[in-house]
Structure 1
Amino acid sequence: MPIINPKFKAVLFCALLAGGAAAFAQDEEGGAQDYNQLMIQQAMKSGNYGQSQSQSWDARLKVVSGTVMVKTINGDEWSKITGEMPLDPNDMVKTSGDGLAEIYLDDKGAIYLGRNTELEITDLELEDTIFSINFGSLVAKVKHFLNEKNKLQVRTPSAVCAIRGTEFAVEYSKMGKESSVAVFDEGRVAVTEADGSGDKTQEYLLEKNTEIHFDPSHKRFRAIPLSRMGRHRGSLTAMRARLASLKGWKPRSLTKRADLRNQALKRKVIRKQLKERAGSPKSKRGAKARAAAAKRAKAARQAAGEEE
């Protein structure tokens, strides 16, 4: 059994205490996830006991426009998010028909989520970062940090993309069950078809300015010059600028991240409570009484005018 660093024992103990308090508060607010405990579990799983937070991304979601929702591992409902929110492993992010969002991986990566997209944050460990697209599209710009130690995968129901560099887009059509992957001006992506059998399939290596499409109606696939996926260039340009603007990035402590998550999820709970109150019989009776009073006041004013 690995020997735990004494300093980390103290950090672990404090994190567990903070985690317990956060968990209680989150249960009160609709089941928001306890970030501290989850990060400790990830550290124990990876064996990086003395470096728990530094071994995972400080991932953050930013709502750009429209409706963007998050569902946590402990939540049964989607929560509408405004502004920013730290992300945990196993969080689900979904954009609506008018929704646009961005995800930041420290100051090393910027990911753009298009409209009608559902993304699972499968794993945030530096050594094995995994995002899973259930439907929709993402466009990303990441710095040259990927190597044999730090790995990033983007998965769709029909493809597994091992990202080896820095500008790429992935999309999945739920209707056509087609996966499309592209590399822009920098980097490479190794793509394999996910056939569901567990058997190894052929790997296709995409170089810069190429794309590939896995269409279930075809049995053979090949990389072609960038064409259809070129429509994502505008989003890529935005991610290049966004990544450059993240130079002043400051990491947040586990406690701060937990607080920000609670605040983001609590706003949804408050809105829900207000709606429930508005729909309650007591609230309806109050509204009727106010309407009747306004009607009587109007009648009185009219009567006074006639007397004059």
Structure 2
Amino acid sequence: MGTQTTQALLNQFSADYNASLGSDTTSPRLYSWDATGTSPILTKSGATPIVRPHGADAGITALIANTNATVDFARSDRGPRVTDPHGLDFVVLGEDAVTWSGARNGNAPAQLSPDQLNAIYRCAITSWNEIDPSLPAATIRPVLPEAGSGSRLFFLSAIGAPAAGSCVTTGPEENEGTDPRLNDPNVVFPYSVAHYLGQTVGNHGTATDAPGNLTLRNLRVGGTTLVPVTGNQIDARFANSQFARLVYNVVRDADWTATDAHGTAIQNVFGTGGWICNDPGAAAELVSYGFRALATCGVAILT
């Protein structure tokens, strides 16, 4: 449970991993709960119902607040923070990047710099013609996902904005362009490059999990134009910029290091020798859902 950014990928992994067990009826199965839907949820037989976690922070909070009788791992599109409690392992899954998106045939330009995005989200720039006199004198509509979104926090950090200004609309689900609030020719909205690729090139989108009218836009960094996508994958230069990030599965260190059946099951799925990092089908799915594979897959960062 947790972030929406890797939700579709973990749903696919759940189906594939469970199928790989074949006639083995005793090994634990892998399940992943969506960020949105009915709530509360009963995660396992005999577990205590909990409020459905929405976003990376909520997923990690649920992991901390419960035992492995209820929650085993959290999906996270943010890395460890100094404010995270000791005893969590952030296990590397792959690499993503975040750029900004605008409406197809809207008024937003093809590229913006981090400083310009900073000013937009601080409400210091409110009209397109303040960026370029040739652009329309139309009010910019900056939008952010929900407060617990890892993509939201990462994007604001990458553009150097400590907080959003009063002109910013908050609330649409991260990486989904189908929200009516995003149907504006002047909208600006952060977007996971991997998730966008999964929705479009990978054909993994749904009626609601889709970019809608939004398209990914370029970033102008240090005089260089960074293009998010090249050859239907995250561009290598973009992946080396401040807008690249790792995505993780978060587990309790007590589970990660346990030598019992539960600890073995966790390692068998998420570890360096586990299914996600070694199965050829899993590797293909990771790329199909837009993420970059890493040699550090399965490496755990302990808080």
Shorter-normalised TM range: under 0.3
TM-score, with normalisation over the residues of structure 2?
0.21
Does 1 or 2 have the higher relative contact order (CA < 8 Å, sep 6+)? 2
* TM-score, length of structure 1 as denominator length: 0.21
- Of the two, which has the highest radius of gyration? 1
Structure showing the higher helix proportion among its residues: 1
When you count strand as a share of all residues, which structure comes out higher?
1
